Amino acid sequence: MLESAKVAYIFPGQGAQKVGMGRDLYDNFDVSRAVFEEADRVLGFPLTRLCFEGPEDELRQTINAQPALVTVSFACLKAAQALGGDKMPAPVFVAGHSLGEYTALAAAGSLDFATAVYLARERGRLMHEAGQVNPGSMLAMIGADEKAVDDICRESGAWLANINCPGQLVISGAKENLAKAESLAVAKKVRAILLQVSGAFHTPLMQPASLGMADIVGRLTFGKPAVPVIANTTAEPLTDAEQIKAELLRQLCNSVQWQRSVEYMVNNGVSTFIEIGPGKVLTGLIKRINKNVNTLNMGDMNEIKAVFGG
């Protein structure tokens, strides 16, 4: 199946982290161990131990979860490439959900892993700090269409932050606006679930983080990606360094267009999506976007071996 398929690699975002993730990769693949060791060296603290041993509340913190997920997802990719060899198909597109866009850029060769994990740590730090300056949170809206959620946002003063799949959207805003949005959702018989995050991500309340990232990104060199990266904010390909820099700043304050990103890839021939990294959140979303595509997971050693018959 893989040899003849048009494949996209997709990488998860914050929320997929769990204590113990990546340990089997570290123990069994030299290339994965090297990724963890490089992360520890770049960041100057034992991120590897935090991934493997927790504590969970510390791993969940935005400043830690973001570099941890980039590290484990990239370690998964390296293990899959090592085990799969020629059987591991090259992607025609790569994409990542929110934070996962950084792993996608590393997978596409636009930046090296050391730069990606450094940026993920700085992004997490800046987003946390922005959440302290402009306190807020996020609310998942289950079972509503985009128009209904747009109406709730307009009436409550919240923003539409993630368009994940039909019937699953996420809004962000200040806590008082989300409280109003939750009441409106109840009235419309929409299920609303408060997410455990430290700020109103993907809204203008993250502007301080965007300004901080602009200074950091402006000092770094990005390369042309070897494969198109589908942008979170436009659901269109990023093909050069300047587009990528602009996207990394824009995605902090604007909606993640995940459903449209998947639809773009399907409309351009992708028949198989490989979710690389912890969890199966993106696989679940894709199955609700298009039931006709194939999905595979490579989030640990057993899943990688299952794909290649190892």
Catalytic residues: 98, 202
Cα(294)–Cα(5) distance, rounded to whole angstroms? 9
What does residue 93 show for φ and ψ, rounded to 5 degrees?
A: -145, 155
CB burial class (10 A; 0-12, 13-18, 19+) of residue 187?
exposed
> At 180, which amino acid appears?
K
As a three-state string, the secondary structure of the chain is: CCCCCCEEEEECCCCCCCCCCCHHHHHHCHHHHHHHHHHHHHHCCCHHHHHHHCCHHHHHCHHHHHHHHHHHHHHHHHHHHHHHHHHCCCCCEEEECCCHHHHHHHHCCCCCHHHHHHHHHHHHHHHHHHHHHCCCEEEEEECCCHHHHHHHHHHHCCEEEEEEECCEEEEEECHHHHHHHHHHHHHCCCEEEECCCCCCCCCHHHHHHHHHHHHHHCCCCCCCCCCCEECCCCCCEECCHHHHHHHHHHHHHCCECHHHHHHHHHHCCCCEEEEECCCCHHHHHHHHHCCCCEEEEECCHHHHHHHHCC
Q: Token pair of 306, please?
A: 């299952």
Whether the Cβ atoms of residue 95 and residue 229 lie closer than 8 Å to each other? yes
Q: Which residue has the tokens 């587009």?
A: 243
